[in-house]
Amino acid sequence: MITCVIRYEIDPFARDAFTTYARNWGEAIPRCGADLVGYFAPHEGSATTAYGIYHVKDLAAYEAYRTRLAADPLGKANYEFARNARFILKEDRLFLKCVSEIPALMVQP
């Protein structure tokens, strides 16, 4: 399994638009075949850095997922929404492989 981490630089005055974008992906991404960890918007610290994180089996599964997402009605609409609203200033993808043991669900104090 690989993890895709998308780092966004967003317009700090358009955080509500990013939240709408993220919630739309919350519906479309799982439907198209990726295991969504979540979308994360600025809370404290940087007002412009946000993340989207999901898992796929491998790069071939990623390519198939991206094809399905581009054809999905909500996926198409969300890409268009982001393009028109212009709240994403920069977007980078990083693919990672977990090399540690699976952590516990919750760290106990």
The per-residue pLDDT for range 15-65, each reduced to its tens digit, is: 999 999 999 999 999 999 999 999 999 988 889 999 999 999 999 999 999
Q: What is the pLDDT of residues 63-102, one digit of tens each?
A: 999 999 999 999 999 999 999 999 999 999 999 998 887 6
Cα distances (Å, whole numbers) of residue 55 to 63, 71, 105, 107: 13, 20, 17, 22
Helix (H, G, I), strand (E, B) or coil at 71: helix
Fold topology of 2-96: Alpha-Beta Plaits (3.30.70)
